[in-house]
């Protein structure tokens, strides 16, 4: 899935015209990169974050510790010295993966503004839409698009597998 995400980001950036073009689209909207304001793309207006939004955003970090399939990985470590390294690796991986997820959203927005893709009714499908666009280029690109979809399915199956193992061992 990591390779699939890199391909999606690189293809999205190249189809828009480069990183500078992506960032220009994002910074053209007031409050888009602000930590205290939000920008509603549909209404084209800026607003302050409400208390519920702030609380919900902060609660995301708490949810990670409640995932038994993640905690079991740490519980399985035999040596306490390895726990420190494992914690650092897990933290770095989460920061990288979430940053890439956010950047895919920014790239998808730039692709929409440049009319590379149509505005999405469901923004969560941006990776699938980009993979579909990539698959239309040529037969080799179609195979890469298929690998991107396979990467999504593989990560879903991996998570489901870990959750089933955690549930069956309880």
Question: Which are the contacts of 101, defined by CB distance < 8 A and separation ≥ 6?
Answer: 5
Q: What is the pLDDT along the chain (170 residues), one digit of tens a residue?
A: 788 888 889 999 999 999 999 998 888 888 777 777 887 777 778 888 888 888 887 887 776 666 777 777 777 888 888 888 888 888 898 888 888 988 998 999 899 888 888 888 788 899 999 999 999 988 999 999 999 999 899 989 988 888 888 788 76
- Predicted structure pTM score: 0.76
Pairing mode, strands 45-48 and 37-40: antiparallel
The predicted structure's pLDDT at residue 149: 92
The predicted structure's pLDDT at residue 163: 83
The predicted structure's pLDDT at residue 157: 92
Task: Check residue 44 and give left, alpha or beta (phi > 0: left; psi -120 to 50: alpha).
Answer: left
């Amino acid at each position: 899935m990591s390779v699939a995400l890199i391909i999606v980001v690189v293809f999205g950036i190249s189809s828009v015209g480069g990183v500078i073009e992506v960032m220009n689209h994002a910074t053209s909207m007031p409050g888009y990169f602000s930590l205290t304001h939000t920008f509603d793309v549909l209404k084209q207006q800026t607003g302050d974050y409400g208390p519920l939004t702030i609380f919900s955003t902060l609660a995301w970090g708490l949810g990670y510790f409640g995932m038994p399939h993640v905690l079991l990985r740490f519980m399985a470590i035999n040596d306490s010295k390895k726990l420190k390294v494992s914690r650092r690796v897990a933290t770095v991986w989460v920061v990288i993966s979430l940053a890439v997820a956010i950047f895919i959203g920014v790239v998808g927005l730039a692709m929409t503004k440049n009319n590379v893709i149509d505005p999405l009714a469901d923004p969560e499908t941006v990776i699938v839409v980009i993979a579909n666009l990539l698959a239309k280029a040529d037969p080799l690109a179609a195979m890469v698009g298929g690998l991107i979809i396979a990467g999504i399915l593989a990560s879903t199956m991996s998570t489901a597998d870990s959750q089933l193992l955690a549930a069956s061992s309880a």
